[in-house]
């Protein structure tokens, strides 16, 4: 009888270890680049075209580095846009739609001031149309919610 109990205990330990490993994978932060985001496209009045490898990241924690373009008050940004290149003038050199990510800090997070260098953020990635009631994110192909700044250049 003891060998069966030992075997059962070993199975429980292995199952728990496997579940913990899967939970850890679910919590892992996936590095993301603007080059990967550029694979997505969107034409006016149609649904976005998002490749399968990118679709898998919807709702996942990602890390992305880019330049900040203010969305609200530059001195107290709880929301901003992250772009691959520094944007000096939207009329002169606007980025492509797949080169802009709308970033929102958590509701109770301390707003950040504008940075002219790059920032690295981590948060939950969503694609256009994720939440039909989210008028603020309308028009953005990508959104990173619950973001935190994890690096500055």
The domain limits of the chain are 1-28, 32-152
- Give me the pLDDT at residue 90, please: 57
Helices vs. strands in the chain: H and E counts, helices first: 3, 6
Mean confidence (pLDDT) of the chain: 80
- Global pTM reads 0.76
pLDDT tens digits for range 1-59: 455 444 444 444 444 444 444 444 556 999 999 999 999 988 877 778 889 999 999 99
Specify whether the CB–CB gap between 67 and 100 falls below 8 A: no
Cα separation, 105 vs 147, whole angstroms? 5
Higher pLDDT, 77 or 93: 77
Cα separation, 99 vs 110, whole angstroms? 26
Secondary structure element (H or E) that encloses residue 53, with its range: helix 52-55
Topology at the third CATH level for domain 32-152 = OB fold (Dihydrolipoamide Acetyltransferase, E2P) (2.40.50)
What mean pLDDT do residues 130-145 have? 79
């Amino acid at each position: 009888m003891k060998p069966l109990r030992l075997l059962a205990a070993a199975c429980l330990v292995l199952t728990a270890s496997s579940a913990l490993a899967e939970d850890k994978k679910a919590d892992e932060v996936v590095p993301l680049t603007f080059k990967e985001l550029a694979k997505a496209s969107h034409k006016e009045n149609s649904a976005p075209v998002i490749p399968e490898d990118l679709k898998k990241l919807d709702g996942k924690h990602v890390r992305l580095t880019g330049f900040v373009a203010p969305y609200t008050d530059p001195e107290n940004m709880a929301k901003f846009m992250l772009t691959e290149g520094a944007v000096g003038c939207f009329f002169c050199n606007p980025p492509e739609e797949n080169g802009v990510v709308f970033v929102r800090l958590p509701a109770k997070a301390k707003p950040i001031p504008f940075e002219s260098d790059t920032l690295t953020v981590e948060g939950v990635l969503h694609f256009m149309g994720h939440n039909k009631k989210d008028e603020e994110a309308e028009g953005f192909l990508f959104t990173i919610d619950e973001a935190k700044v994890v690096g500055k250049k």
